[in-house]
Amino acid sequence: MPEFSFWFKEFPAITDLFNSETWLWAWLAIIWVVICMRKIFKKAWHPWWGSLIPLYNIYLRFKTSWMSGWWILSFILPPLGIIILFISFFKIPWRFGKHWAFGLWLLITFLNPIFMAILAFDDSKYSKK
């Protein structure tokens, strides 16, 4: 496959994307966020295994933020679905007694695992208010 080797030499960022260390860190971050979501769902009285099933965990995220579970149908229109998911990022910390700006830190991709861990492992309580 000489044409692919030429392609990768032309764009070194693509070779870095397929680096095994990059994939390792990505998988570790995914596993860490799933562990944190398990803890958050347990605090909100949802089943812990809900963090392992792809669409069900988004449904539980909406239920945790006290949005209707029917909002998952907004993913039929992708821009609307992403906006609704962003809104849930702001409402979940609010349900745990955090400021709405905490959700802003959850939206930043590389800080998400850190702030998910703060939300999961601190002593905040889930409120139905």
Q: What is the pLDDT of residues 90-105, one digit of tens each?
A: 888 888 888 888 888 8
| Position with higher pLDDT, 122 vs 21 | 122
pTM of the full structure: 0.73
Mean pLDDT of 79-88: 84
What per-residue string of b and e applies to 37-76 under the rule 16 or more CB within 10 Å gives b? bbbbbebbebeeebbeeeeebbbbbbbbbebeeebbebee
In contact, 50 and 60? CB cutoff 8 Å: yes
Q: What is the pLDDT of residue 1?
A: 46
- How many CB atoms lie under 10 A from the CB of residue 20? 6
The residue extents of the domains of the chain are 2-121
